[in-house]
Structure 1
Amino acid sequence: MIQMSKLKIRKHFLKQRDEISLKERVLLSSRINSNLLKQEEFIIAKNIASFKNFRNEPMLTQAENKFYFYPKITDLELSFHSDEKGFKSNRYGIQEPIEKINIALHKIDIFLVPLISFNKDLYRIGFGGGYYDRTLKHLLEKDSRPKFWGIGYDFQLSKSNFQSKFDVRLDKVISDKKIYVSKI
C-alpha cells in the first residue's frame, strides 16, 4: 500500500475532479444516482442526509417518498436540516439550508457523504475540516446506527493507506462504476 500525505492526496484528486467537464459530470452523476437507487437499503430508507454539490461533486437527485436533510456547519460539527426554505452560501461557499430546525442525527437512515478521495478500506478524504468525522463518530456508539455511504467518482479511488484514528470508515462508496462495500 502506498503511503502519501492526506494533503497531497487531496490536492491531486481535487485537481482531477475540478478538471471534469459539465457534460462528463452530468453523465457520471447520472450513473451514481442509478447505482444509489438500486440499493435495497436506500429503497426502504425514509430519512436521507445528503449534500448540495460543490466544486464538481456529483449531482444527487432526490428520490420520491423520502425526506432529505442537508448539512449546516455548527461550531465544529454538522447539523442536518430540511431544504424547505432553500439554501444560502456559507463562509466556504458551500450551500447550506436556511431552515433553522434540525433533525436528530439518530433519525437519519443513511448519510450520503461527499468525498475528494477514498481508499479500498472505505476511508475518505474531504476538505480537511473534520466536520463529517466528528459528527458521524457520535453515531458509531449506537446499537442501531445509520449507514454511512460515500458518494464519488470511481477515479477518486486512491491506492494510499491514509486513514488515521480520527477517521470514520464508510459502510459503502457509491461510484459511477461500482459499489464498494466495507469488509468489516
Structure 2
Amino acid sequence: MMNIMHKLRRQLRKQRRQLNHFQQLQAESRVFHQLIRTPEFISAKHIGIYLHAFGEIRTHKIIEYAFSKNKKIYLPLICNMNQHLVWVQINLQQYRNKRFSLHHLGMQEPKCTRGLHVSKLELLIMPLLACNEDGIRVGMGGGFYDRTLAHAQYKPTRLGLAHDFQLIHHKIIPQKWDEALDGLIIPTKLLRFKRK
C-alpha cells in the first residue's frame, strides 16, 4: 500500500509541475468562482488558507477577494516543537509586500513565532496531492494538517482545492490519523462529503 501511495504522490507531483501558467490561472479562476459562492465562505470571518508553492491551486484571487470582504486571513506556520500548524493572521499590506520567510521545505511562511490554534478558524482551505470520492485527502507526506486537526477540540469546515486530475477514483484506506475533508473544489465541480 505504501509503495502504491509513494508512486501516486510522485506521479501527481510531476503532473502538477507540468501545468503551464495559463492552465494554472484558468484552474484558479474556476475554483475561485465556485468557492466564493459556498455558504461556508460567505459566512466565515476567520479563514485559514495556504500560499501556493508546489503547483497547487493558486490562492491569490481568493486571498485578495477575502480581504475585500473584510474577512480575516490566517496562514499556516509550522511549530518546530511539535510539528503542528499554528495560524498567523496577516493583513493586506503584508500579503502584497510578500513579507514572508522561506521554510526549508520550500513554502513561504508568515514572519511570526506565535499563532492561533486551528479551532479558532471557521473555514480551513487546504492544499492536497489527491483526494478520493470519500473525501480522504492525501497530502504532501509531512502530516502537518492531520496532526494539527487530530488535536483540535473544534474543527473548522475543511475545503480542499485541487486540479481535476487530483480527484482519484480508487479506494484509499485511511490511516487512523487521517482527517477527511468536508468538501473538495476542482475546476469542474464541487463535491461534498459526510464527515464520519
Whether TM-score is above 0.5 comes out as yes
User: Equivalent of 1:128, from 120, 124, 141?
Assistant: 141
Q: Which residue of 2 aligns with 1:151?
A: 161
1:74 is aligned with what amino acid?
Answer: C
Q: Which residue of 2 aligns with 1:33?
A: 32
1:25 is aligned with what amino acid?
Answer: Q
Q: Which residue of 2 aligns with 1:160?
A: 170
User: Secondary structure at 1:183's aligned position in 2?
Assistant: coil
Cα distance, 1:83 vs. partner? 2.5
Give the alignment of 1:89-108 within 5 angstroms: 89-108=102-121
Paired with 1:104 and 1:14, the residues of 2 have a C-alpha distance of 29
User: Secondary structure at 2:151's aligned position in 1?
Assistant: helix
TM-score of the two chains, using structure 2 as the length reference: 0.86
User: Secondary structure at 1:5's aligned position in 2?
Assistant: helix
User: Equivalent of 1:177, from 174, 183, 188?
Assistant: 188
Paired with 1:56 and 1:129, the residues of 2 have a C-alpha distance of 17
Contact 2:47 2:122 in 1 (8 A): yes
1:126-160 superposed Cα distances (whole Å, 9 cap, x missing partner): 11010000001122x44xx3101111112111122
Contact 2:132 2:168 in 1 (8 A): yes
Give the alignment of 1:107-122 within 5 angstroms: 107-122=120-135
Contact 1:4 1:160 in 2 (8 A): no
User: Secondary structure at 2:179's aligned position in 1?
Assistant: coil
Identity %: 31
Aligned residue pair count:
180
Task: Work out whether 1:137 is the aligned partner of 2:159.
Answer: no
Gaps of 5+ in 2: none
User: Secondary structure at 2:42's aligned position in 1?
Assistant: helix
Return the structure number with greater helix share: 2
Deviates more, 1:25-34 or 1:97-106: 97-106
RMSD of equivalent CA atoms: 1.8
Cα distance, 1:175 vs. partner? 1.2
Task: Work out whether 1:73 is the aligned partner of 2:78.
Answer: yes
Contact 2:124 2:157 in 1 (8 A): yes
Q: Which residue of 2 aligns with 1:87?
A: 100
Cα distance, 1:125 vs. partner? 1.1
Deviates more, 1:174-183 or 1:98-107: 98-107
Structure with more contact order per residue of length (Cα contacts < 8 Å, sep ≥ 6): 1
